Structure 1
């Protein structure tokens, strides 16, 4: 179960921030004013002038980015930690008998400034970092981890929580109050609260050391990625689709280079691997992409991986678990590593069989081209597009012409409006941290404010790779604070004045992240520690993945897939071919994912991680499962942010597949109802989004679906088994 942060949204969220699209932690409610506290010699006046500690007189309390500078963060963190320590000490030393109000509620109200500062900082270091912010992060991550541990290892505080937990049934608490007690107690136990003596001290040391390592791993991945570009000549550009050429020119200009370039942003390199006929350049790009963090330079992550795995194993052993994988699985829907592995293996054989069929198709085309080599990683995407074009008469460039990012954003909002009765209106009066960022206000049908949504869609230097959701403020039923949610993607920014045309996969990712965003925006819980995405790791992907299904529905594509020049809808015959091709290359996609899932779990089941040779370990696991050589891990170990830049998905990458079972089965509820916007089914789904962690994950799914999930819809929808009838 995800760590819940009364101890500061800051500390454990910092451990999660770089790895998870939805790795967000609820911020505590407002506490005493930080300017009352003096920290590390800072003057009252200096703290009072710090915008991170002042009241934000902005629309809906949005962060005042224009006032915030990197030098504000360390003094603000120090002041806020001091305030939070005093608040926690007051709770722990309270002479009155522990009650829900003087302990649980007081903890929910503590650390407001710390949570608020962390959210601004964490989002900036992920989305718009620089050398100054990197330095602050490197200094503060272990300090925040020690701050966190000092709270979870506070014996007097835990004694109060434990007393309430032991008597919870006699206290007459509401269902949400009782759930908060249960979740808090479990979180403290999993954070070492029951340890004593040297074990307790060692646990705190491990947490601090890991926090620094997670920061280093993420910064290494970003910096190593930014070192590499592939210059393209005018002849190279002429062989590429116009949108890829446009993005390459924009990337070169952004880096103040004299030539267009391909970068290691996934949205840059993958389209190049799909479309470039230059095999030698494809090999260069592929090798650079898959070797991020593995280049024997100052940003190499191999030693970091071994150290992280060793510390995680030691931490799990201190808590009485055989391995870190057992520690992580306890309290999730899966329950055990064996259950998670069994799910992946259930999908593996049909996925591998399909991938081998796909490989044979590619080999045949390569032979026609006179390429005598085996199918390699830099061949797969290029020849897959050739196979796709022949089988479905599909041209990726033709499809992109109908997928203008503006229309896709409108589509994601439209689906939310139809399902949940909310409205999104763009706001240009709210400050942003980069010119690319946009803000929308979410209201209900009566026009009442419900939250703010930030969209940051384009790749750039200083922004980590991938796509994710986070928040600047979670929903808080105690204070009435509405959520401020952000989605990040890394699409190619086109030349000035040109539309941002994205792929079918990119558009699916857009819907996925907005599903996470709605999980935060629609949250309606009493306590922030139970709000939004603060759910089991193998359930948090369900709201995001189920939302993807609406994008591929003909009704949505007919309405929003409009040609960027003519405004005409996608022709019916092209739409039919696009939908027929949805399961194309599904063997590759599933095997690529499962490769990472198997390796992730194997790392965290290993009991001698100090001896691991990272590349040899990967090879051994993939060979054991018979993975085709041309299909690597989706995320190689040295840039596997999910697993090594935090703990959100460590020994938990399988959860995307677990959630795949849930989302395919869940969307079937709408199919069975005969209406993708069926009001009764949508109301039950809204309950899932709004309930956060107020009820256990399986119970939440059963309330929606009426039964436990079935794996059959996932296998059917991926084309691995035939549909019945």
Structure 2
């Protein structure tokens, strides 16, 4: 890291702060063992002050503005701030202790104010705008294009009063986002369901019972089993629990999270965020936040997104109604939301001979990871993996692998943090600690986070098929970072438009049931016997079952996201729960048929995760994903030739050129929606 290596700290109080000392570990891996919570605030404030000095030097330069003394100088600046941020924002969602959540709330306004100091700096913007860009090519041209667009979207062209109000809004939004996250994590833990009668756990596997008992003990209960909640509305436990009252308790605990007044109430925060975003969009010249947010996406405009969702909703809801009819036929009574997963699993067993519980012994974590996820990457891209037990992550659960290219050169590090804990946000995600940048002499260090319950001590970790899918999906994001080839960190890896970033990860899911891969990793944990090919055929036959439910619950969340962000300046939502119900109904969705995947009270993606007016991205990306899967199938599937093409034209490119240009270079044309409609049963 060129900028960090030249940095010196003159303040004695900061001299021993490990965040201000370049890491000498491989690939610049942070020395997590030396970093303590009290290091973050002084390191961040120092890094911000240093960055402001660098920005002032660029803005005050009397020389004629050139690419080198403006855009390149800006790209090189702020590397210490970037380092501190990437370490801290790796820890907050993965191990967000109360102390770190408080630090988060303290630093978010500082970070927001500093970003405003960058993007609202008139002299800096004037110098960037004055650069003659006509002769720029390649990454230089792309960097200039992306940076100028970012300045404009951040308000660089506003007058002084508008800038002042924008700074106030940004600071308040930063505070609200941190508050939403803290309350949401605490509420999710508080709503976990304690079961004291073992009979109410009928249907749970022995390993899940043991995990629930461990969770209860860890939470301080003297006895019982604690059913912790995922961030989704529909909880994984519902698929197994035979007792209908217990299923209802679990569902209702998840459904009401954050909606009841008290210390964990978040709907007031959500409503204020939406109103402030609408006002901000108006200041910047857009009718709604959704219109504003789509300016740097691959989707052309809001009507195009609304058209896609509008075409999918009626067909998905009709599929869901047909599925409910089959479930009610099986159950013999009306189906409630807490019944759906349980009876859907029965349909899979009875109609398709798929028993999700019986599959779990074939999906042991280590084998699925090494012989499945890693093996597919090796077959496609020639990369190999070696676990580095000598390197430590930020938590004892974290494992570290060094990744090598086909010629043996080191590519970077992959960190796997697979297990749930009370301080971890729900869901799964990838984030970079380092990004590929030849300009900064930096190689990637990427982290995958999942939320798999810890097995009892000494027992293997057995995955559900959904968890296997998540493992492959998140590693697709990791590959996007690990295989990046970029000069500039700003354009590297996953730094692509929000509605493109999910595309590579969705493509990586196709290898889950690819014959040579599944035969290697899907082996019984005790006997080593491979999964019966008939079971694979059953899985493939059942692939369309449940698409009505899954598509409808996803679309419910996407509709809610756009509804919150279609408010116009001055509009407010006085009753968030009524607003939520009205918007779903207006879109043709029925929460009593299928509840949305997230409610406004636990929708981290949009209120604390950067996806505001962007949750549609998953289905938008899936159009490209399904079209790409069709290409792989038509061209021989899992081969180095195919992998190298995908790597060269897409994964390596990041945002170094327009991502849709990269897609066309790979596919030979624009994406077509028909493969997605077939996959989802909507054709």
What's the TM-score, normalizing by structure 1?
0.91
Aligned partner of 2:51 in structure 1 is 84
Aligned partner of 2:352 in structure 1 is 392
- Superposed displacement of residue 680, structure 1: 4.1
Question: Could you tell which deviates more after superposition, 634-643 or 331-340?
Answer: 331-340
Distance 2:249 2:191 in 1: 10
Aligned partner of 2:524 in structure 1 is 563
When the two chains are superposed, the root-mean-square deviation of aligned CA atoms in Å is 1.7
The alignment status of 1:583 with 2:550, answered yes or no, reads no
Structure 1 residue matching 2:199: 3-state secondary structure: helix
Structure 2 residue matching 1:52: 3-state secondary structure: helix
Which residue, 543, 552, 556 being the options, matches 1:595?
Answer: 556
- Superposed displacement of residue 31, structure 1: 7.3
Aligned partner of 1:241 in structure 2 is 205
CA contact (8 A) 1:34 1:80 kept: no
Distance 2:532 2:594 in 1: 34
Which residue, 83, 91, 94 being the options, matches 1:124?
Answer: 91
Structure 2 residue matching 1:579: 3-state secondary structure: helix
Aligned partner of 1:148 in structure 2 is 115
Which residue, 33, 48, 73 being the options, matches 2:15?
Answer: 48
1:282-297 to 2 correspondences below 5 Å:
282-297=247-262
Structure 2 residue matching 1:424: 3-state secondary structure: strand
- Superposed displacement of residue 124, structure 1: 0.8
Structure 2 residue matching 1:30: 3-state secondary structure: helix
Change over 3 Å in CA distance of 1:611–1:73 after alignment to 2? same
- Superposed displacement of residue 266, structure 1: 5.0
1:373-452 to 2 correspondences below 5 Å:
374-410=334-370, 411-452=372-413
Aligned partner of 2:4 in structure 1 is 30
Structure 1 residue matching 2:543: 3-state secondary structure: helix
Aligned partner of 1:10 in structure 2 is none
Which residue, 128, 132, 140 being the options, matches 1:177?
Answer: 140
Change over 3 Å in CA distance of 1:28–1:541 after alignment to 2? farther
Over 3 Å off, 4+ runs: 27-32, 236-239, 266-269
Aligned partner of 1:702 in structure 2 is 664
Distance 1:28 1:697 in 2: 28
The alignment status of 1:636 with 2:596, answered yes or no, reads no
Provide Cα deviations, 1:439-468, integer angstroms capped at 9, x if missing partner: 101111222111001000011011000100
1:293-442 to 2 correspondences below 5 Å:
293-367=258-332, 371=333, 374-410=334-370, 411-442=372-403
Which residue, 570, 576, 579 being the options, matches 1:614?
Answer: 576
Distance 1:485 1:680 in 2: 24
Provide Cα deviations, 1:218-264, integer angstroms capped at 9, x if missing partner: 11110111112222333234532223213212322332433221011
Aligned partner of 2:471 in structure 1 is 510
Which residue, 614, 621, 625 being the options, matches 2:587?
Answer: 625
Distance 1:384 1:341 in 2: 30
CA contact (8 A) 2:506 2:622 kept: yes
1:55-204 to 2 correspondences below 5 Å:
55-164=22-131, 167-169=132-134, 172-204=135-167
Provide Cα deviations, 1:68-106, integer angstroms capped at 9, x if missing partner: 111111111111111010001001101111111111111
Provide Cα deviations, 1:534-554, integer angstroms capped at 9, x if missing partner: 111111111111111111223
Aligned partner of 1:215 in structure 2 is 178
Distance 1:684 1:281 in 2: 47
CA contact (8 A) 1:485 1:520 kept: yes
CA contact (8 A) 1:442 1:453 kept: yes
Q: Any gaps of 5 or more consecutive residues in structure 2?
A: none
The alignment status of 1:673 with 2:635, answered yes or no, reads yes
Distance 2:493 2:643 in 1: 20
Structure 2 residue matching 1:470: 3-state secondary structure: strand
Provide Cα deviations, 1:409-463, integer angstroms capped at 9, x if missing partner: 1111111111111111110111211111101011112221110010000110110
Provide Cα deviations, 1:89-145, integer angstroms capped at 9, x if missing partner: 001101111111111111111111111111111111110121211111111101110
Question: Could you tell which deviates more after superposition, 571-580 or 138-147?
Answer: 571-580
Distance 2:2 2:579 in 1: 41
- Superposed displacement of residue 356, structure 1: 0.6
